[in-house]
Chain A
Amino acid sequence: MSAGNAERFKSVVSAILGVSPQEVSDDLTPDSVDTWDSLNQINLIGALEQEFGVTLAAQNLGDYMTVALLKKLLVEHGVEL
């Protein structure tokens, strides 16, 4: 289950940022990917919400995010990763 979720997570991040799924690692941050701008930050959160059927709190939208932090946020909302 959580292995499947990990793949889904990678595939969503890869789709929004336009990087290959293999490149989606915990180290990925807005500073390491050109396409991770404020617009795609919102798109990332929106796309992950759609994928996992969760709603994240508005205060998270503006936080500095990394792939590791996105995962942590999803886990806090009950997604097994």
Chain B
Amino acid sequence: MREHGMGEAAKMDLARANALLDEVNRQPTLARIATAARELVGHARDLAPVALRLACTSSYTFDPIKPALQLQGLRAGFALETYVGPYGQFDRELIDPASGLAQFSPQVVVLAVRLADVCPAIYESFNSLSESEGRGLLDDWFSRLESALRTFRQRSDAHVFVTDYDLPAAPALGLADRSATFSQEALIRGANDRLRQLAASMSNVHVLDYDALVARHGRATWSDRRMALYARIPVSAANYWSFAGFLVRHLRPLYGLTRKVLVLDADNTLWGGVLGDVGLDGIALGPDYPGSAFTAFQRRVLDLYHRGIVLCIASKNEPGTVQEALEKHPNMVLRPRHFAAMRVNWEPKPKNLQELADDLNLGIDSFVFMDDSDVECELMRQTLPQVLTITLPKEPAEYAAVVEALDCFDQWKISSEDRKRGELYRAEAGRKQLAAAAVDMPTFYRQLEMKVALRVNDTSQVARAAQMTNRTNQFNMHTIRYAEDDVRKFMSDSGSEVVTLALSDRFGDNGVVGLAVIRKKPHEWVLHQFLMSCRILGRTVEKAFIAWIAGRAKVAGAKELVGEFVPTAKNKPFSGFYASCGFLPGEPEGAVQRMVLSLASADVTLPDWITLEVETGLEHT
């Protein structure tokens, strides 16, 4: 009997795939997951921008989670190729170079080990343990874990996600656990602290807060005891979807799939009622319900702004009315300064979003759109399926919870650049006005009073440099994602250097917006990575950066500067960048196009409108 599936027949359309995934997400039963997986997984490469090899090795049966994992991956933009190792053999899988996991050569490994599986006495017969026995069990486990992880790390750079340990639904001493000198919960919490210390001591090992996940869903119902005992699946079927979503949530920020912009509708989204009908005094916004629901929603959105999410408005209203409401309403939490751009008009919203994306120089696939109208949302889903469209619930009191539950903006770390991103985009509006007024471009550049600060191998820049490799999709010549340890290696290696570029001008400080990772050889310097935040393009800074590096290479005695370019779906608009700087095509190396600048004839002067300041950290001789 054959499986009936789509096979290779029709190419799956993104809007239809999203609709199917939304349907599963609303009611993630096993039957729906199985059906959607059969229909979609074969088309994953067409639907998702990032292909990723993910291996799972665990102390329990992980296979049943796989379809949910692949679908949650698709929802986030991943075409996951998965490998699930035989349960209980995680040591061997990690250590043995001939293991299935090793042969699979994963980019990410999920190590899902329950403490209840490796130290069952701590969970099942805690009261019969002495304190030293309990601690001894943990010592044994951690030395086993550490040796497996370190052995694996010698062979592979893959990210390793380790799930932490969930507390029991009911501690063995009952109420007395809290006051006991040897407490079960305290012992397990201590194991979690230890797990975090171990991860911090190794590169690219991350701890996932599995305990918090279990607690959110309810410790008592997370597992189905029959399935746990019979099939060794400690997650009930009702929770496969949440578990898979939890795992994928941690992958997004590592592969440039974090969204950046939230576009909000105004009427019945930011406030209750239709501004054009009821006027400024008639909208619901304030201390009492239903106004309080909208105030609460705006507060959550403001908190997104303060972690670096760019806010915009797309509203069907008379131009000017929304701006006036934001300025004048006494209970408004979000004010005009919090919005990077607004589109208040009667045009279709997809058109407005596309314009916003062009204005902000951000990919449309980094946008989230929120509206209370089913019609507007459906139009957006059909027209721009790359946008994450969220229909607000009927009950405004639930709006705040919708913002709280968003995981598409997640990052592993927040930088100071993130916290002031809102100001950066406002300053951009000032620059645009200046550009419109200036007679010619050089005049505009001079009026900007640009100051560029370059830092060479400065370890204080490691976090931001790594973050830039993960967030930058468009002006990114090679698109290799780095963890902080990778950046540190390039900084400390005498054969390479890492240069960060910070830009400020009369409108404000843009922070660190450019990165170059250079491999230095006597004859040639290679721009292994070269990327800039799209926000600051078009001000000659990117070319000045190249000129400065070329000058430095020349002084060092190199004959050529080589730019490595690898085309992706996102960096196409900049595929001609190296050529525009005078680089000529060289011999390609596999997927890498090598563009070569002959330093003998290269112009390495910087434009007069850029003031340069250079700080070198660790200088190699």
One digit per residue, 1 when the CB lies within 8 angstroms of any chain B CB and 0 when it does not, for chain A 1-34 equals 0000000000110011011100100000000111
- Give the interface centre of A32, A34, A43, A62 by most chain B CB atoms within 10 Å: A43
Cα distance A2–B511 when bound, in Å?
67
Q: Please tell me the number of chain A residues within 8 Å of chain B, measured between CB atoms.
A: 24
Identify which of B31, B64, B231 contacts A15 (C-beta below 8 A).
Answer: B31
The interface residues of chain A lying within 8 Å CB-to-CB of B229 are 58
- Residues 52 to 79 of chain A near chain B (Cβ within 8 Å): 57-58, 61-62
The yes or no answer to B35 lying at the interface (CB within 8 A) is yes
Tell whether A42 pairs with B35 under 8 Å between CB atoms, given A20-B4, A50-B238. Answer: no
- Beta-carbon contact of A33 and B1 below 8 Å: yes
The interface residues of chain B lying within 8 Å CB-to-CB of A57 are 226
- Beta-carbon contact of B1 and A50 below 8 Å: no
Tell whether A46 pairs with B227 under 8 Å between CB atoms, given A18-B5, A19-B3, A39-B63. Answer: yes
One digit per residue, 1 when the CB lies within 8 angstroms of any chain A CB and 0 when it does not, for chain B 442-455 equals 00000000000000
Q: Please tell me the number of chain B residues within 8 Å of chain A, measured between CB atoms.
A: 21
- Beta-carbon contact of B231 and A50 below 8 Å: no
Tell whether A61 pairs with B231 under 8 Å between CB atoms, given A43-B64, A46-B237. Answer: yes
The yes or no answer to A47 lying at the interface (CB within 8 A) is yes
- Beta-carbon contact of B34 and A32 below 8 Å: no
- Beta-carbon contact of A58 and B30 below 8 Å: no
- Beta-carbon contact of B230 and A43 below 8 Å: no
Q: Is the interface of B mostly helix, strand, loop or mixed?
A: helix
> Which residue of B is nearest A42, CB measured?
B231
- Give the interface centre of B3, B29, B34, B227 by most chain A CB atoms within 10 Å: B34
The yes or no answer to B32 lying at the interface (CB within 8 A) is yes
- Beta-carbon contact of B31 and A23 below 8 Å: no
Q: Is the interface of A mostly helix, strand, loop or mixed?
A: helix
Cα distance A19–B31 when bound, in Å?
12
The interface residues of chain A lying within 8 Å CB-to-CB of B238 are 50
The interface residues of chain A lying within 8 Å CB-to-CB of B29 are 47, 50-51
Cα distance A19–B1 when bound, in Å?
8
Tell whether A15 pairs with B226 under 8 Å between CB atoms, given A20-B4, A32-B1. Answer: no
- Beta-carbon contact of A15 and B230 below 8 Å: no
- Beta-carbon contact of A12 and B31 below 8 Å: yes
One digit per residue, 1 when the CB lies within 8 angstroms of any chain A CB and 0 when it does not, for chain B 229-259 equals 1110100011000000000000000000000
> Which residue of A is nearest B225, CB measured?
A58
> Which residue of A is nearest B5, CB measured?
A18
Cα distance A11–B38 when bound, in Å?
14
Q: Contacts A18-B34, A46-B227, A51-B29 known; list 18 others, CB within 8 Å.
A: A15-B30, A16-B30, A18-B3, A19-B4, A20-B4, A34-B3, A42-B227, A42-B233, A43-B237, A47-B34, A47-B237, A50-B29, A50-B31, A50-B237, A58-B226, A58-B229, A61-B231, A62-B230
A residues whose Cβ falls under 8 Å from a Cβ of B: 11-12, 15-16, 18-20, 23, 32-35, 39, 42-43, 46-47, 49-51, 57-58, 61-62
